[in-house]
Amino acid sequence: MHPTARRHPRRTLGLALAAVLLTTGTAACGASGDDGTGTSGNAPASADAGTGPKQGVVLDNPFDKPELVLTDTGGETYDLVEETGGHPTLIYFGYTHCPDVCPLTMSNIAVAKSKLPESEQEKLRVVFVTSDPERDTPESLGEWLRAQDPDFIGLTGDFEKIQAGARSLGISLEPPVEDENGDIVSSHGTQVLAFLPKDDRAHVLYTEDVPVETYEKDLPALAQGKLP
């Protein structure tokens, strides 16, 4: 369903530009309000429009991993820095009631991960942090993630703590609200951040319009702790 992946020169972003890209890439899942890509028309993220699948963006100034201590799907305390330290790690903030962006993003990652050798799958950590902790209990979050990949890590907890962790990465999260139809909508940044084990910092950013082909191309290198 996607065009054949073609290689493109990797772009790099300075800290200020990266912050703009991150904070503008916010979507109310299931609602309109941006350009449909999750980048709100941000030029750097859409510079390759019409030339092939979207690529990840290598950051000139990587982000530190947020010091989040939350609850995993087994109801146990999970220290993000401690548990994922030394592992290539993908982190995404979203919610299980999202009708579009979140399930597609996680599905794309799951498909790409499934094509890695088993030894590299074991190294990789994929972490989904809920932006709707009131509804995403450990049990419901675990059930949702198992449908994507049983090894995906789901985290829930205090919203303000989660929001602060996201902001440390330049990602905007807003408290879930009820829309005019009575539906609960969670507005959240739609980026995936890839952390490398060499320094546990986020070196690559993926926007929501990155297709499965890009993850399939990049995950082999990321799983080995290398830039794609």
Residue pLDDT, tens place only, 12-68: 444 434 444 444 455 555 433 333 333 322 223 333 445 678 999 999 999 999 999
- CA 103 vs. chain centroid, Å, equals 11
Q: pLDDT digits over 81-127, tens only?
A: 999 999 999 999 999 999 899 999 999 999 999 999 999 999 999 99
Q: Residue 187: what pLDDT?
A: 86
Q: Which two tokens stand for residue 87?
A: 């592992």
Q: Residue 29: what pLDDT?
A: 59
Is the per-residue pLDDT at 5 higher than 50? no
Q: pLDDT digits over 145-161, tens only?
A: 999 999 999 999 999 99
- Confidence band of 185 (pLDDT split at 50, 70, 90): confident
Nearest alpha carbon to residue 63 among 43, 81, 37, 75: 81
Is the per-residue pLDDT at 11 higher than 60? no
The whole-angstrom separation of Cα 228 and Cα 222 is 6
What is the CATH code of the structural domain delimited by 57-176+184-223?
A: 3.40.30.10
- Confidence band of 8 (pLDDT split at 50, 70, 90): very low
Entry field: residues in the chain: 228
Q: Residue 41: what pLDDT?
A: 29
Q: Residue 90: what pLDDT?
A: 98
**Other residues' Cβ atoms within 10 Å of the Cβ of residue 38:** 22
Specify burial of residue 179 (Cβ count, 10 A radius: 0-12, 13-18, 19+).
Answer: exposed
Q: Residue 27: what pLDDT?
A: 52
Nearest alpha carbon to residue 93 among 24, 137, 11, 156: 156
- CA 48 vs. chain centroid, Å, equals 20
Q: Residue 177: what pLDDT?
A: 87
Mean pLDDT across the stretch 68-84? 98
